[in-house]
Structure 1
């Protein structure tokens, strides 16, 4: 049946109760209001946070309900009963010490919940343990103190740009590999201080999260098997100028060694020759960087010795980088690795108060081929 209103914009039509005070027809009793204190008493009794308050509110509500002819007597009585029970439990808890245990557990639960985060809400420098297996796609991780055992440490992150639609996992993975390698390199300049079996890791947006606007890649160091303790952070803000200059000069050599092509020069001569040229350039850049600086007296001799060793290595890697064919490449291969200082200046690192012990197979792993 049509309602009492006319078309939009027109005045209201006369309804069945038009002219009746309050819009209620004669003979229909007004509905009683519910006492607010009764409601508050019940709520206080149910949540058990302030049981004495619920008890007081209920006792005050009862006479007002009678006096004002309001509804809510049942609510007030229920609130009084529940609050009285809560008060009794509170007294028992205080007497037995159970309240302290409850509050401690409650507090611990709140703190743990506050540490549970999405991988994409992690911040640089935070250490974490995933809630489950270490996977590229994760919904929850738990932030922990870096002094405690943990699986990963966030080094930074970036947003993927240049794509209007989901580009696919392989495309993002390729970007993340390169960008996070740079991010991690700047975060942990003292690479020898990074524990063994702790590697480059990153969290990627998934196809589903991409549709919701997620473009974040979170870079990290992570251990797939055994947790590690302590922060691996050794960026420029935590190093002296001499320490940072030394590491920035020699670290690229170490980085390039890990990029050696998987295919032998017999299978992909071009790729191997390009890699040898890249490593030769890193050696020459390191020599120049070490030569440009005046080093502390305690470190100067060992830095000079490293620079001399790099000069000898440069000659051998030049032969490798300019090899005419795969056979010539193999002839120059072992001499090039043997000429490259295996420890990349352990004495100089020690003299500069850096980590002086290299990780296993840090440099020169190809020499056994």
Structure 2
């Protein structure tokens, strides 16, 4: 009876094991074949189980399509690679497998938080890098697998170097990033499912309340940071917090919209570029964020 090793699920891309094969070649191609064989041998030697992935590991998934995995190629971070583990946690659930959707929902919520602990400035990420995660499958769950590995992965390219930037940040940079990240986390994590305020005024007001609270904390953190541009941003965000509070207390949809428009405009990431430059942080607004505020 064949015994199959348990897999883990990778959301967004596949890492199905595929070992490099070397075909027959002519004499003129011997050198290339030797080099290819060496590369293949190195790749095979670097294969590791996805169950052994650790925080900080740089790796290349085996495969490109969405699916399941049981091995990846671990590589030194100074070599070109497609992914790096930037967060990990265990799912605290009962004995029964909670289902694919529930597992994905947990990872969707936790991985952005864990990744920001490791690489707080998402603006500084290499181009084309997105957040993915390895999660237990029903089969691996039965063997005791509860771990989630959060990764930044470049699906169509590679990058070099570690994304572990938290240790190199200055105190004022950390304060800024923690506050800024919390604001946008409050915005997106509390996004109501309904498309219009009229269909869920209570939900949109709850979102506004969460964003206002995060802004208050962010502004308080900026109070302790010197700089002309930081001061300007502090004033803009103070005004934004006031409008988010008005939205949170709106009596009806019309009052909500009146407060929401300037509230949303004043947290446009472009408003923070000058302050980020003053703090020595990345200044290119990520494309997905730019698209949202571009309308």
TM over 0.5: yes
Shift of 1:294: 4.5
Q: How does 1:50-69 map to 2 (within 5 A)?
A: none
For the pair 1:272 / 2:204, whether they are aligned, the reply is yes
Shift of 1:199: 2.4
**Deviation larger for 332-341 or 350-359:** 332-341
Pairing partner for 1:350 from 277, 281, 284: 277
The total of aligned residue pairs comes to: 266
> Is the Cα–Cα contact under 8 Å of residues 90 and 146 in structure 2 kept in the other structure?
yes
Output one character per residue of 1:281-337: Cα deviation in whole Å (capped at 9) or x when no partner.
Answer: 11111001111x254xxxx21211111111111121111111122232223222222
Q: How does 1:30-69 map to 2 (within 5 A)?
A: none
Structure 1 distance, partners of 2:40, 2:294, is 53
> Is the Cα–Cα contact under 8 Å of residues 187 and 210 in structure 2 kept in the other structure?
no
Structure 2 distance, partners of 1:346, 1:232, is 24
SS at match of 2:84: strand
Shift of 1:166: 1.6
User: In the superposition, relative to structure 1, how do residues 102 and 195 fare at CA in structure 2: closer, same or farther (>3 Å)?
Assistant: closer
Match in the other structure for 1:137:
68
Structure 1 distance, partners of 2:207, 2:164, is 28
For the pair 1:255 / 2:185, whether they are aligned, the reply is yes
Output one character per residue of 1:158-180: Cα deviation in whole Å (capped at 9) or x when no partner.
Answer: 22223122222222222222221
Structure 2 distance, partners of 1:128, 1:346, is 32
Match in the other structure for 1:191:
122
Shift of 1:195: 3.8
> Is the Cα–Cα contact under 8 Å of residues 60 and 83 in structure 2 kept in the other structure?
yes
Pairing partner for 1:303 from 208, 226, 230: 230
For the pair 1:167 / 2:167, whether they are aligned, the reply is no
Output one character per residue of 1:55-74: Cα deviation in whole Å (capped at 9) or x when no partner.
Answer: xxxxxxxxxxxxxxxxxxxx
User: In the superposition, relative to structure 1, how do residues 133 and 231 fare at CA in structure 2: closer, same or farther (>3 Å)?
Assistant: same
Structure 1: gaps (5+ residues): 1-98
SS at match of 2:270: coil
Match in the other structure for 2:258:
331
Shift of 1:233: 1.9
Structure of greater Rg: 1
Q: How does 1:46-195 map to 2 (within 5 A)?
A: 108-135=39-66, 137-195=68-126
For the pair 1:281 / 2:208, whether they are aligned, the reply is no
Shift of 1:262: 4.2
> Is the Cα–Cα contact under 8 Å of residues 79 and 161 in structure 2 kept in the other structure?
no
SS at match of 1:346: helix
SS at match of 1:279: helix
Output one character per residue of 1:84-138: Cα deviation in whole Å (capped at 9) or x when no partner.
Answer: xxxxxxxxxxxxxxx9999866654442112222223222222222211353531
Shift of 1:355: 0.6
Structure 1 distance, partners of 2:81, 2:187, is 28
> Is the Cα–Cα contact under 8 Å of residues 127 and 145 in structure 1 kept in the other structure?
yes
TM-score, length of structure 2 as denominator length = 0.79
More strand by share: 2
Shift of 1:230: 3.0
Structure 2 distance, partners of 1:316, 1:102, is 66
The alignment's C-alpha RMSD in Å is 2.9
> Is the Cα–Cα contact under 8 Å of residues 317 and 336 in structure 1 kept in the other structure?
yes
TM-score, length of structure 1 as denominator length = 0.64
For the pair 1:315 / 2:251, whether they are aligned, the reply is no
Structure 1 distance, partners of 2:286, 2:166, is 21
> Is the Cα–Cα contact under 8 Å of residues 268 and 293 in structure 2 kept in the other structure?
no
Shift of 1:253: 1.6
